[in-house]
Amino acid sequence: MTLILAMSVVIGMLLGLLGGGGSILTVPMLVYLGHVDPKIAIVSSFVVVGTSSLMALIPHARRGFVCWKSGVFFGLAGMVGAFCGGRLAGHFSSDILMALFGVVSLSTGLLMFVSAKTSSTQADAVLPLRICPLHVPFLRVLFDGFFVGALTGMVGVGGGFLIVPALTLLVGLPMQGAVGTSLLVIVMNAVAGLAGYSQHVELDLNLTLIVAGGAVIGSAFGGLLSVHVKPESLRRSFGLMVVLVAAYVLYQTVSLQLLLTAMHWLQNPQNPSWTIVGLLLFWVLLRIAGWIHKTDTSEDNFTRIADE
């Protein structure tokens, strides 16, 4: 329990410093150190990350590093997605959710290596003008918010480390504004994801309170230290940690039994049809995303030139 408490403090510090990363460590910590069922670990992570993110949000807001308009719209769309993702998770086994967790974590860790340098360059270009731009690309904010929220709601991960790149690379916020705003969005997504999971999973209150207490203490320190540390440098280092955690989760989860379960699931005449429908729906969403981002970019660039 001491090790879990110490890890919880570290998780809180990462949230305060980077605006994300809590669930990527919270879920594996509860599963492999606390021997908690994955679904219970995921629902506990919503409470832990939501509470610690709320505490870390305060110092960022006091420094004016929270873009409330972008965050609220991104968060509202994310809440809808997180609730839907939490309800959808009830139809999957714990092993499948953990395998999906590993895939998402691995993709997120690799994304951090790529986005750290790009985000730093964009932050330097935008920061001298303003932290929060006057123009908010609402279509992009709503679409990306729903997608990130749905992913967060299903596996209890991906919030901050998908929100920060989305707010930086797509919405156009500088790194400091993206980190602070992501904390607001994480709190909103955590509430919605918890509501979705609460329909079919019970919360281990004692364990959750211990982990949340350590995370809150850590997030307070992280929020204070964030002004003195470059998030891009920490993001590169933490990206390696996320990749290692993802590799361990996939090593523990992906097995012959999981593959046999998936094959048995596909043998049901109705399931392959739903898989095809899901893939088609995913393809349609990708096409819509491409259209939204392409259409909104020209208007966003015009507004930025006018703002200058």
Average of per-residue pLDDT values in the chain? 75
Q: Give burial (CB, 10 Å; 0-12/13-18/19+) of 265.
A: middle
List pLDDT tens digits, range 71-110: 899 889 888 887 888 777 777 777 777 787 778 778 777 7
Half-sphere exposure of 5 (CA within 13 A, CB side): 7
Tokens read off for 188: 């909103």
Burial 63-73 (b: 16+ CB within 10 A, else e): eebbbeebbbb
Taking 80 as the threshold, does the pLDDT of residue 66 lie above it?
yes
From the list 215, 214, 168, 207, the residue with the least C-alpha distance to 187 is 215
Convert the pLDDT of each residue in 145-179 to its tens digit. Answer: 888 778 777 776 556 666 776 787 667 777 778 88
Domain boundaries of the chain, sorted by first residue: 2-255
Q: Give me the mean pLDDT over the 192-196 stretch.
A: 79
Predicted local distance difference test score (pLDDT) of residue 232: 65
Q: Is the pLDDT of residue 308 over 50?
A: no
% of the chain exceeding 70 in pLDDT: 74
**Euclidean distance between CA atoms 156 and 22, whole angstroms:** 10
The pLDDT confidence band at residue 127, using thresholds 50, 70 and 90, is very low
Placement of tokens 């919880």 in the chain: 8
> Whole-prediction pTM value?
0.68
Asked if 95 contacts 213 with a C-beta cutoff of 8 angstroms, the reply is: no
pLDDT for 58 equals 86
Report pLDDT for 55.
82
